[in-house]
Amino acid sequence: MLTKKEYFFIGILLLAILAISPFYCWKERSANRSTLPRVVLTATPKDIFFQENQFDLSYYDQFQNLYLDQIPAAVRIRGNTSAFLEKKHYGLSLPRAVAMAGLPKSKHWLLIASHLDMTFMRNTLSYDLYAAFSAGNRVPKTAYATLYFGEAYHGLYVLTQRVDARSLELERRDPFAVLYKEPPINRRTEEHEERYIGFRKYILTNSRFDVYSQAEREQIADKAYFNQRYPKLEKENRANEIYEITDYIFNTSDSIFTSEKNGIQQIFDLDNLIDWQLLLLISNNGDGVVKNFYLYRVKESEKYKICPWDYDHGYGRDGDAEPRAQTAVLDCARLKLFERLMQLNPVGYNQRLRDKFLALKANGTLTTDQIFARMDQIAAQIRPAVLANQARWPLGKDHPFLKGADFDREVQRMKDWIARQLPMVEQFLMEELQKKQ
């Protein structure tokens, strides 16, 4: 039998446990709650095709508070070769502009699967670097979110702002404002007509586009080659500008290309091109030289600029995750524009390219300390979500190029690659370009 004193102490102990248990339960629940926003679609992956279909979308913020409650969303699969991977990219179009994950308001959003980039960093890091190179550089803004189809978890995604006239801050009342995605500026002017016809034929006959009506296929075929994104093609066809640009790049004389009055610096913003070339050299993004970029002009008084796009093909792996040999820096001369800039050196282009690299190294932007700190910041934010994604999509088990890979190994692999790449780029700029002075 317990004494009254023992009963008293047991009672006090039980009261104390009852008093503090809600705190510990709350603490445990909080620890298990996602720190990333959540997008929920009332669909299954099998319901979504290349053509837009309407579903309801809900959005929960990083504290899992419901922010958007089943609003209509037009959803479609995005991408080319990536569209045939198991985990797909999706495009979302909403009836009104909304802010998600701390990003600016927009009607149009992309959910980038990052299926073969196990770090989930290649795009975000590239855009961060490019934006840090110069204040005027425009990039897609990104954040991280998890995607659910109903109650079914589908994985971690890079929520990405669509590149359009609004995100690039084009002066839409200016008749000279224009935007193209991956325009064929590396093709001779004489090739455009034949290639345009080839693109049209592919789209009008390939089974991939069978989900579209004939009228829709015609619209897609009209846009595909020059890929004009602003203004709308039906409002004004600006293909003539691509003809003019390629005619200048390929056919103008060396004396005009390098002249003060009519030189290349009167057409392109050379500081912007320098930043783009540095990003290509640092990332070694082979795809990015001739595609995976946007060409735009904000208004009549400004020159053409570049906005980078899709950098999963870099930092030591190709887009299919195959390891990439690190034996030489990227051959940017594959783009005729870069070839002529480096060979002819208008307005001291090579010196400016080298000086910009050294300035970014001096201010810390292009140092392993600062780049790795940003990678560590991203890793700390997404690690729990990446582990859940790895369980949902276990590529490390049987993918031919990713066997045995996981998040931490891939992040370290990318760091090691960057640590070797930066001095290689510096040596190239200091030695090889010196020969072309």
- Cα(93)–Cα(77) distance, integer angstroms: 12
Residue 420 binned pLDDT confidence (cut-offs 50, 70, 90) = very high
Tell me the average pLDDT across 129-157: 98
Q: Note the Cα 55 to chain centre separation in Å.
A: 25
**SS3 of residue 436 by DSSP:** helix
Q: pLDDT tens-digit profile of 295-352? A: 999 999 999 999 999 999 999 999 999 999 899 999 999 999 999 999 999 999 999 9
Cβ contact 158:146 at 8 Å = no
Element (H, E) at 276: helix 270-283
Give mean pLDDT, residues 129-151: 97
Q: Given this model, what pLDDT does residue 396 score?
A: 80
What is the arithmetic mean of pLDDT over 412-420? 98
- Which class for 428: exposed (0-12), middle (13-18), buried (19 or more C-beta within 10 A)? middle
Of 223, 218, 216, residue with least CA distance to 242: 223
Q: Residue 84's pLDDT is what? A: 87
Residue 432 confidence class, pLDDT cut points 50, 70, 90: confident
Domain boundaries, the chain: 38-161, 178-363, 368-420
**How would residue 21 be classed by pLDDT, with cut points 50, 70 and 90?**
very low
- Burial class, 200, CB count within 10 angstroms (exposed 0-12 / middle 13-18 / buried 19+): middle
Residue 96 predicted with pLDDT over 60 = yes
Whole-structure pTM value: 0.90
pLDDT for res 32: 38
Tell me, what's the pLDDT at 398? Answer: 84
pLDDT at 42: 97
Residue 23: pLDDT band (50, 70, 90) is very low
Average pLDDT over residues 70-85: 92
b/e map 363-396, b = 16+ CB within 10 Å: eeebeeebbbeebeebbebbeebbebbbeebebb
